[in-house]
Amino acid sequence: MKQKDSLDCQSRRLEHSFRLTRVGVTGVKKPVTVHRDGRDRHLTATIDVFVDLPSTQRGSHMSRNVEVVTEMIEESVRKKVSSLEELAAKICKKLLDRHEYASFAEVNMSADYFLERKPVGGKASLEPFKLMAKATAMRGNGLMKLVGVEVQGMTACPCAMETVKHKLQLKHPELRHVPADTPMISHNQRNRTTLIIEVPEQVEIEADDLVGIVESSLSSPTYGILKRDDEANIVMKAHENPKFVEDVVREILGRLLVKYKGLDNSVHVTVRSESEESIHKHNAFAERVTTLGELRS
């Protein structure tokens, strides 16, 4: 097979060249099944995988990336995986096995997924969320796994609400007598919030819990089916809980500290909230990139 080897362009040796930080494939789509709490979740995942490349080697063997993804997904049908991040971690380790020249590997996965939600007094329906998973590995150095969710919900602006109340009370003095906590009109809008947390070895973090943490930190969750009464309840609830994007991020940070008391200080956390402002054509944005240790100090 000498001939074959001479066709291995990728392994050709380079001199005076440059190391590459990440080389791989992006936008691979695959059906994935995650087995959790006794039932299968069928996901359509979009996957990016990378390894680094030493300065002496011309190319990474790209087809090995998709082979590894395919093999590990097939294995996950036989030996069920309980989470997308577990699958990402398995792919990550296997990438280092297969790319013997690499010292680093990274896997990113995302998929739509659904949870049943029911507004108080209303009808249950399946709401869509986005599930994200990431794994990175340094050769010989263990593994880092992260799980994340993107949640759509509703924010009502606290600032506009107070200014409007002040203006309306000047105009309609009878409004001064309603209780101070009566919700007042404001602008409200669709919000997208992302929460990503590192998953230490031996720990399981439920993506569903992350969705719950985000939903309870918004002015209100949103729902597919709302009859007239449910709609009014959601609108009132949102205006009783007006939130800046800043408030949303901080509430999530606070809830994380309570929920994950047992997790190590070194655990990475990213929270990002974006409100598609109804009064502007641009969005409002807030973000914190941190560790549990920093948050606790």
Kindly report the backbone phi and psi dihedral angles of residue 4, in degrees, each rounded to the nearest multiple of 5, phi listed first: -55, -45
Is residue 97 involved in binding a copy of itself (CB under 8 A)?
no
Would you tell me the crossing angle of helices 207-215 and 245-259 to the nearest 10 degrees? 140
Instruction: Compute the distance between CA of residue 221 and CA of residue 152 in angstroms, rounded to an integer.
Output: 8
Is residue 106 involved in binding a copy of itself (CB under 8 A)?
no
Instruction: Compute the distance between CA of residue 294 and CA of residue 297 in angstroms, rounded to an integer.
Output: 5
Which of these ranges, 139-147, 201-209, 258-266, 280-288, lies near a copy of itself under the rule CB under 8 A? 280-288
Instruction: Compute the distance between CA of residue 232 and CA of residue 4 in angstroms, rounded to an integer.
Output: 70
Is residue 80 involved in binding a copy of itself (CB under 8 A)?
no
Closest CA to 201 of 111, 135, 113: 135
Pick 183 or 212: Cβ nearer a copy of itself: 183
Nearest approach, Cβ of 228 to a copy of itself (angstroms)? 5
Is residue 63 involved in binding a copy of itself (CB under 8 A)?
yes
Pick 13 or 202: Cβ nearer a copy of itself: 13
3-class SS of residue 294:
helix
Nearest approach, Cβ of 178 to a copy of itself (angstroms)? 5
Pick 42 or 204: Cβ nearer a copy of itself: 42
Is residue 81 involved in binding a copy of itself (CB under 8 A)?
no
Instruction: Compute the distance between CA of residue 144 and CA of residue 214 in angstroms, rounded to an integer.
Output: 23
- Contact call for residues 171 and 184 (beta carbons, < 8 A): no
Interaction with a copy of itself in 213-242: which residues (CB under 8 A)?
A: 220, 222-229, 231-232, 234-236, 238-239
Interaction with a copy of itself in 111-140: which residues (CB under 8 A)?
A: 111-112, 114, 123, 125-128
Interaction with a copy of itself in 243-262: which residues (CB under 8 A)?
A: 244-247, 249-250, 253-254
What radius of gyration, in Å, describes the C-alpha atoms of the chain?
24
Helices (DSSP H) in 59-110: which residue ranges?
A: 62-78, 84-98
Nearest approach, Cβ of 166 to a copy of itself (angstroms)? 6
Binding residue for a copy of itself (CB under 8 A) from 56, 62, 97, 141? 62
Contacts with a copy of itself, 151-190, as mask; x by CB under 8 A: -x-x--xxxx-xxx-xxx---x-xx-xxx--xxxxxxxxx
Pick 73 or 137: Cβ nearer a copy of itself: 73
Nearest 5 degrees, angle CA 91-CA 94-CA 97? 160
Kindly report the backbone phi and psi dihedral angles of residue 263, in degrees, each rounded to the nearest multiple of 5, phi listed first: -80, 155
Is residue 56 involved in binding a copy of itself (CB under 8 A)?
no
